[in-house]
Structure 1
Amino acid sequence: MNKSTKRNIRLLMLLSLTGLIFSCQPKQLADRQNFDKDWKFMLGDDSLAFQAGYEDGSWRKLNVPHDWSIEGEFSADAPSTTEGGALPTGIGWYRKSFRLEKPTSNKNFYIDFDGVFCNSEVWINGHFLGKRPYGYISFRYDLTPYLNYGESENILAVRVDNSAQPASRWYTGSGIYRHVWLVEKNPVHVAHWGTFVTTPEVSETLAKVHLDIQLENTDTQEQEVLVKSSVLDSQGTVLAKAESTLTATNGISSLTQNFELNNPALWSPENPNLYQVKSEVFKEGKLVDEYNTPLGLRWFEFTPDKGFFLNGKPYKLHGVNQHHDLGALGAAVNTRAMERQLEILKEMGVNGIRMAHNPPAPELLHLCDKMGFLVINESFDEWKKTKAKKGYHLYWDEWHKRDLEDMILRDRNHPSIFVWSIGNEIPEQFDTTGIRITRELADIVKSLDTTRPITAALTETDPEKNNLYKSGALDLLSFNYKHEEYLKFPDRYPGECMLASENMSALSSRGHYDFPSDSVRIWPPAYNAPFDGNPDLTASSFDNCIAYWGATHEDTWAVVKNNDFIPGMFIWSGFDYIGEPLPYPYPARSSYLGIIDLCGFPKDVYYMYQSEWTDKTVLHLFPHWNWTEGQTVDLWAYYNNADEVELFVNGVSQGRKSKEKDQFHVMWRVPFHAGSVRAVSYKNGEKVAEQEIHTAGQAAKIELIADRNNIKADGSDLSFITVKVTDKDGNMVPDAANLINFNVDGEGFVAGVDNGYQASTDPFKASYRKAFNGMCLVIVQSTEHAGNIKITASSDGLESNSLTLTSN
């Protein structure tokens, strides 16, 4: 048996186990209480603030998730540096008081933090519970021994230290930026992250389901329990049952249960079908714990020659990389904001997301399960060798094993996750220490989950020089950039499977265009090399500006599209993100690398991917039609479901054009004359689609477009309102930069503002914003009271506008 065959069989065996994975969503039962409300916060440090009797009456009152950095002002002198977003960091304290009724029987109380950035230390009633340096990891503490009951208050205190900078290569945010939960349990209960499901067999006709359950008994006495589990469909119909008896000794006890499902509805990005496993624990006939676990059924494989297969069918991965910030909202988790990002990506045709470069919020994974995205879950950007001066390498020796284990245990039951990544662009790939560390990390992952392949994002494509590859511990070889090297992969790595984990790094500013469009600008041409950029710190929205290590979208997609052995690619990046503002220095403070700007407004290349990755009929003509009279202008059109496109300038045809091989647009070069341009696409001579753009006149009005007019009165739901500056006829003015003021009346408030301009130093937390290239964004958040929310936008010299939202 040759190496190729061995490798392929080994990978098939590995992946055959992963047909069924379940998503353990936050359990909304009586024993799990959201603990986000009514915290007190102080920015600064006080060594006595952990004490129960500490006077915190002057502290600010707020709810978490909370990111104090996003509330600050941009500064070239910020300790986080421009690469980290040029926003303040520092030290902050949070305190929360709460009362508990004395339970009628023995109970355990735990506090769960989904994520605190970073270096958190936690106390309850003055008792130190522990610390967690890594800001992206979830963790739990046992409160039980230190609690007061009845009229006596309990004081939870959290110190957050994000003062050591730079801590990262991108914006991290600061504070308790993910959710907090108070968990109440009986002495015998399903342990924290205590279930795991695999499928020894799964197909379109049958799924065999294997459930591992860990029970925790905090009582010193043995407990006889009965565990009943049921598989339910989306309507709640019971499809299969299992039950087991167990003598639970003090500590952790394990049991397994098995089920069979006939003709299962398979999970995929196109049809993200979810089931649910309901596990109940009984003691002496009384229900003492319940654990509800959504699950999805699917199987997949990577092959060396034909790429990726999902549920037995060839499947191209159309992926993006995503950092965790939510634009003007910062790092503070908001489920609706994450859902909106995924909706925009879904419309583009995205079916995969690489979580760059850290474990995400649990809610994001739940959304990926429900909405249908294949996820690469990544643990670290940094091992022992330094990337950020004050980064994770400082904590590696003490914490990497615990952090990696906790990521796998927390996330291994999500059907969306199909690959574990143990690192991104790790310097140890050039060092023999990379062999040992890669093997160690892979062993940690496989001790907890053998159902998914393990990878690491590599920059070194030469197998003789890459020590992570030499370790033999990677099941899947992921490469960042260097798409021209992909064609050499089958010869360099015979029998191995690959993935394009990070691609492009193409630069653009929404609505800005540099001519000629067919001349590619490399900014900078090499590391720290000088270049002639734009005085206004913009980059062209044609696909003609790239970082020196990157490539254009069209060049890379052509290679991936035309080669079956390449399973797909993950674009850097889906959205712009705060920090890493290459190629410009401050006041640039957010990235130029997204297909979608920081507001969530698509840039032009979005429609190229939509024309390639979806069946939607696409015809996107750009740029705008406001130029200097007689100026030579390049007009591009992305299209699909058609054979050719015809361009008309002021009614005069400029001819029909069709895309050439490995070109994903057509172009005309014409002189500008005010009026209109119109594109018409045809298939078999019949018109398919049409788009017309008019020369805009003077700015006259404000247009408001809400993504949702009805939101929940839950104190966190959002409406994202697009603001456009138009002429009197409703044409957006493409260079409008008017200052727009916002006023909100009723049961809502402004949560953030932005315009997508990467070099704006105006604050995100404000009631005003300048338009950038004709547009800006206001985000309105509900209160906890139902009612109407009226938003009014006004600007000197423009006709104001209002809209009313309903909060239910």
Structure 2
Amino acid sequence: MNCSSKLRPLLLLLSSVCLPGAACAQESPPVRELFDNDWRFQLGELEDGQSPELDDSQWRSLDLPHDWSAEAPFDPEFASGTGYLPGGVGWYRKTFNAPDEWQGREVSLHFDGVYRNSEVWLNGQRVGGRPYGYIPFSVRITPHLNVGGENVIAVRVARDEVADSRWYPGTGIYRHVWLQATDPAHIAQWGTFVTTPRITDERADILVSNTVANESDGQRKLRVVSEVVDPSGAPLSHQTTSVTLPAGGEQTLAHWHIAKEPQRWSTDSPVLYTAVTRVFDGDRLVDQTRTPFGVRSYYFDPNEGFFLNGEPTLIKGLCLHHDAGVVGAAVPDAVLERRLRLVKELGANAVRCSHNPMASELYTLCDQIGLLVMDEAFDEWELGKRKWVKGRNVGRAERFGYNEDFEEWAERDAADMVRRGRNHPSIILWSIGNEIDYPGDPYAHPEFFDPAAPPVDDGSPSVTRLAVVAPKLIAAVKRHDPTRPVTMALSNMPASNDIGLANMLDVAGYNYQEQYYEQDHRDFPGRVIYGSENGRGARSWQAVVDNDHISSIYLWVGFDFLGEAGPWPNHGSQAGVFDTRGFLKPYSYQQKKQWDSEPFVRLFVGRQRRGDGGRRRRGFGYAEHPRLWRAEEGAELPVFVVTNTDEVRLTLNGEAVEAERSRFGGDFVARLPYAAGELQVEALSDGEVVATDSLQTPGDAARLQLVADRTRLTADGQDAAHVEVRIVDRDGRLVSDSDAKVTLSVGGAGRLLGVDNGDQNDTTALKNPTKQPRDGRLLAVVQSGREPGQVEVTATAEGLAPATIQLEAAR
């Protein structure tokens, strides 16, 4: 089943099915549908962009999600922190007809994310907007809707100060938009909250609360029915409550259900139940929602760590940013799903949303795949952090950003993050901030300051201010979800301890603060301590392995991302476990070795090169092509074997080669004179071969090869496939040192979203179809159109035989 077909039932929530025991005399069922198609866009400011009379026929036609910054060329005049890509002002417009049957209905638009400072108009009347670019929001359009006629939605997006973030945020309506039309009596947005207060092997207590609103002009007598459906689709129980709501009123009702012998949601078995809520006016069904949830319990113990369903569980997490290489911030669902599955295949069981709420689809996919989630609200509070403009931590700093809107919007934004996500079993932590206590940026402490940090500005406020703001955010979270712990990712533990900030939190996240684990565990014996952001060095992992009370590690960072760049031409972070293509980096196999329970083995060839200061640097992590078995005949090469098994057998052209345990670069190492042919390794467990790997000497680059992760797409204009482009010799062996430029083209019922070489120093525009591979490979992202048909993907390069692959887009 493809990504689109899995996600759509959970996202569309179309109310067209009656459940057993329901009277379903439907006159006009609720409508909840995707509103992404057929928008028009113009970059640049204009007067009266919201006017219905404006002629937008010459504007660009496009479908959402859309990130216009990712379409622009890199430019060294733009801010390094946001990836040397522009911002600006842009306008989106869409014309649609409201059918006659919407008369008397409540109609709204839901935006999952618009970066940033969005303003929305319907038929020339302002209906809402949101400053924060990462938080979903809805606008009620009922009062200005032309039912039975034409309507114009206009959205202005303004990112005037391009240095408004410490990383690349993207610009535009870069997440999905939904349209909803319901009866005036309906379940409020995010109005359902499912909790499981008691779980045993024999039964689970399930509490389903629903907030029902009446936006009609008169009193309404309603029946609210909640039903729990088990993972197989079988109904378990239903409860009914009658309620009378005055005009403009709302009320929250709670129903108690029991699931016998419950199936528990876990990272290994992510089974989902569903709470179905129906609202009736007499026998007429006026609203219905379906809320997936998991039956699971967890807690953090200050001495013994994290327990999921009563079992001690080490949280092995990756921090994630929201962009995805060449697609920028407008990430198709299928691209997001592939990335999350790669995280799971690595052996991780958790992700951290760094440092803002993510697209709704991320949480749904984590529920389905079995990944724990630390959701995070903000990277800065009422004062802005330094934003890199000309280089990393150098040059002129700016403080533009969300801080300008924090005082007015922060509590509401935090609350909406929680209300949107509180039914996802994957979410286990609400974080109200990342490194807000960072030394001197912007808050100062008289005793504790990181000498590596930029100098403190004159007049910087005291860090004690954080102890005033934090309780307000904690209360905003707890008001809507008292069941999950509140945390922060702290980066200055001495200061946060002094002002009591860490003790305000249910659990305390430590960013690169391993040196304080033991002391703080002694000084604050009731505190839950976990690693909220960690480097990939031995100290970070050993601190978790050696201490039961340290429950987690969140590595920085899962995937290379745009922004937080260094000096030109670098335009993005290279700290990822995976590169922007989603290819696991050679040295990241050390992480796979620690986390993956399945046997594996991987061969790498090291090289020596001089690093800064003229010192020789050794190891496959410093090799330009660590998977290339080719050199001058007889040249001595170090070979590294990374494996999670205890024994290996290494051969070169069938002859045994001695491999010894090594402290550096891998689990086993051998030094041997190069000879053309095949280098092979077998990993053994109890004398049995459980995994193999090999490297073969390639010939000259001869042709291109295409391999797709999927050959069948949904023809919905949203689905996507990943096509790996390989430069190979005549026999199909990868030629990783080829520098041939490759051009991709897509014909038929699809389009090319971008070609990625994983090189964060290549300033070729993200959307350019021609790229030079870094390791003999490229990744093309291909999206389906809205009509069924064949999608033809072709790769060409000078001097190489071209390659073509056929995909199918179907209904």
TM category, shorter: 0.7 to 0.9
Q: Are the equivalent residues in 2 in contact too, given 1:469–1:477 (CA < 8 A)?
A: no
Q: Are the equivalent residues in 2 in contact too, given 1:434–1:471 (CA < 8 A)?
A: no
TM, length-normalised to structure 2: 0.87
1:398-437 alignment runs, 5 A limit: 398-427=408-437, 428=443, 430=445, 431-437=463-469
Pair 1:566-2:553 in alignment: no
Q: Secondary structure at the match of 1:84?
A: coil
2:723 to 721, 724, 742: 721
Aligned to 2:599: 617
1:443-462 alignment runs, 5 A limit: 443-462=475-494
Deviates more, 1:380-389 or 1:417-426: 380-389
- C-alpha distance in structure 2 between counterparts of 1:432 and 1:394, whole Å: 20
Change (3 A) 1:32 1:310: same
Change (3 A) 1:217 1:720: same
Pair 1:228-2:225 in alignment: yes
Aligned to 1:283: 281
- C-alpha distance in structure 2 between counterparts of 1:74 and 1:376, whole Å: 32
Per-residue deviation, residues 656-690 of structure 1 (Å, max 9, x unmatched): 43477x99622334444444422222233343333
1:102 to 100, 103, 107: 100
1:607 to 589, 593, 603: 589
1:294-333 alignment runs, 5 A limit: 294-333=292-331
Q: Are the equivalent residues in 1 in contact too, given 2:103–2:147 (CA < 8 A)?
A: no
- How far has the Cα of 1:104 moved from its partner? 6.9
Unaligned runs of 5+ in 1: 1-22, 505-550
- C-alpha distance in structure 1 between counterparts of 2:216 and 2:404, whole Å: 38
Change (3 A) 1:51 1:605: same
Per-residue deviation, residues 435-460 of structure 1 (Å, max 9, x unmatched): 11111211111111110111100112
Aligned to 1:764: 766
Deviates more, 1:649-658 or 1:92-101: 649-658
- How far has the Cα of 1:648 moved from its partner? 3.1
- C-alpha distance in structure 2 between counterparts of 1:759 and 1:674, whole Å: 32
Deviates more, 1:474-483 or 1:317-326: 474-483
Aligned to 2:215: 218
1:501 to 532, 546, 560: 532
Pair 1:490-2:521 in alignment: yes
- C-alpha distance in structure 2 between counterparts of 1:104 and 1:83, whole Å: 46
Per-residue deviation, residues 30-83 of structure 1 (Å, max 9, x unmatched): 4112111111100000121111111212111111111111111111112xx122
- C-alpha distance in structure 1 between counterparts of 2:638 and 2:593, whole Å: 20
- C-alpha distance in structure 2 between counterparts of 1:647 and 1:486, whole Å: 41
- How far has the Cα of 1:628 moved from its partner? 4.6
Pair 1:807-2:794 in alignment: no
Q: Secondary structure at the match of 2:216?
A: coil
Aligned to 1:143: 141
Q: Are the equivalent residues in 2 in contact too, given 1:439–1:471 (CA < 8 A)?
A: no
Aligned to 1:7: none
1:711 to 698, 710, 713: 713
Q: Are the equivalent residues in 1 in contact too, given 2:364–2:424 (CA < 8 A)?
A: yes
1:590 to 566, 569, 572: 572
- C-alpha distance in structure 2 between counterparts of 1:266 and 1:456, whole Å: 28
2:114 to 116, 119, 122: 116
Change (3 A) 1:559 1:659: farther
Pair 1:346-2:340 in alignment: no
Pair 1:238-2:235 in alignment: yes
Q: Secondary structure at the match of 1:200?
A: strand
Pair 1:473-2:475 in alignment: no
- C-alpha distance in structure 2 between counterparts of 1:556 and 1:664, whole Å: 18
Q: Secondary structure at the match of 2:48?
A: coil
Per-residue deviation, residues 396-438 of structure 1 (Å, max 9, x unmatched): 1111111111111111111110000000000358500011111
Deviates more, 1:560-569 or 1:257-266: 560-569
Change (3 A) 1:241 1:664: farther
Aligned to 2:187: 190
Q: Are the equivalent residues in 1 in contact too, given 2:263–2:295 (CA < 8 A)?
A: yes
Per-residue deviation, residues 724-756 of structure 1 (Å, max 9, x unmatched): 111223221121121112232321121111110
- How far has the Cα of 1:187 moved from its partner? 1.4
1:598-677 alignment runs, 5 A limit: 598-622=580-604, 623-624=626-627, 625-629=629-633, 631-640=635-644, 642-658=645-661, 665-677=667-679
Change (3 A) 1:465 1:192: closer
Aligned to 1:798: 800
Aligned to 1:556: 540
Q: Secondary structure at the match of 2:479?
A: helix
Deviates more, 1:690-699 or 1:61-70: 690-699
Q: Secondary structure at the match of 1:37?
A: coil
- C-alpha distance in structure 2 between counterparts of 1:735 and 1:795, whole Å: 15
Pair 1:396-2:406 in alignment: yes
Q: Are the equivalent residues in 2 in contact too, given 1:25–1:294 (CA < 8 A)?
A: no
- C-alpha distance in structure 1 between counterparts of 2:744 and 2:694, whole Å: 31
Q: Secondary structure at the match of 2:100?
A: coil
- How far has the Cα of 1:578 moved from its partner? 1.0
Unaligned runs of 5+ in 2: 1-8, 16-29, 388-398, 438-442, 446-462, 605-625
- C-alpha distance in structure 1 between counterparts of 2:235 and 2:444, whole Å: 50
Q: Are the equivalent residues in 1 in contact too, given 2:351–2:554 (CA < 8 A)?
A: yes
1:166-181 alignment runs, 5 A limit: 166-181=163-178
- How far has the Cα of 1:26 moved from its partner? 4.5
- How far has the Cα of 1:103 moved from its partner? 3.1
Q: Secondary structure at the match of 2:775?
A: coil
Change (3 A) 1:180 1:688: closer
Change (3 A) 1:680 1:657: farther
Pair 1:76-2:79 in alignment: no
Q: Secondary structure at the match of 2:571?
A: coil
Pair 1:260-2:262 in alignment: no
- C-alpha distance in structure 2 between counterparts of 1:25 and 1:721, whole Å: 27
| Paired AA for residue 203 in structure 1 | T
Q: Are the equivalent residues in 2 in contact too, given 1:212–1:254 (CA < 8 A)?
A: yes
Aligned to 2:40: 40
| Paired AA for residue 778 in structure 1 | A
- How far has the Cα of 1:479 moved from its partner? 0.7
- C-alpha distance in structure 1 between counterparts of 2:502 and 2:217, whole Å: 45
- C-alpha distance in structure 1 between counterparts of 2:666 and 2:515, whole Å: 18
Per-residue deviation, residues 135-154 of structure 1 (Å, max 9, x unmatched): 00111111111111223x21
